[in-house]
Structure 1
Amino acid sequence: MEYYTISDLTVITSTSEGFGMPFVESFACGVPILAFEDLDAVKDLYNEKCIKLVKERDVEALAKGIIDALNSSWDSSFIKEWAKQFSWDNIIIQYLEVYNNLIQ
C-alpha cells in the first residue's frame, strides 16, 4: 500500500482483471485510476470521479490518457470514501442481505 500512497495515479494496463483488488487498494489510498474501458473489473468499480478510461488499447491512447488523468483534478477524500463500499465488512453485510432475502 505504501506505493499507492506516494502515487498520483494508478495505471492498470492488464487485459483481464477479476474483481480488481488493485482498484480497491488504490481507491483506499485516495489515488485515482487509469484503465482500459474493456476491462471486466471496470464494470463493477467504475465511478467517473475515481477512474479515467482509455478506449483504445494502444500506446498513444494510453499516453494521452495518463497525461489527461495527471492534469485532471481528483478529490482524494471522495475516492477514499468510494473505496469503503468494497471493504470486507460491507461485502459481508451485502452477502447477509442476499442470504436473508433467500430464506424469507
Structure 2
Amino acid sequence: MSRLIRRLLSSVVLLWAVYSLTFLLTRFAPGNPFSEGRHLPPDVMANLLKTYHLDRPLWEQYLLTLGQMLSGNWGTSYKATGIPVSEIISQTLPVSL
C-alpha cells in the first residue's frame, strides 16, 4: 500500500513539474499567442490579452491557470477560436489511442 501511495505522490509531483516547466517556457517565449504572424489593432490585442489573463503578473497567471487546470476548466483554444480545449482533447484522444 505504501508503494502505491509513493507512486501516486511521485506522479502528482511529476505532473506539477511538467505543468510548471511548460507554463514558464511558453511565457518566456518571445511575443504572445496572438502576435504570431498577425497584425492586430492595439485595442483588439489588449482585449485578447485581458480575456486570457495575459495582462496580469506572471505569478497571478500561474495561479489562475493552475486553478483552472485542477478544476477541469482548460479554457478555449487560442488557435481553434471558441472551441473548448477539453472538447478538442476528447475528439482527438481516441484517435491517438
Query: What TM-score, normalized by structure 2, do the two folds share?
Result: 0.29
Higher strand share: 1
Higher helix share: 2
Greater Rg, structure 1 or structure 2? 2
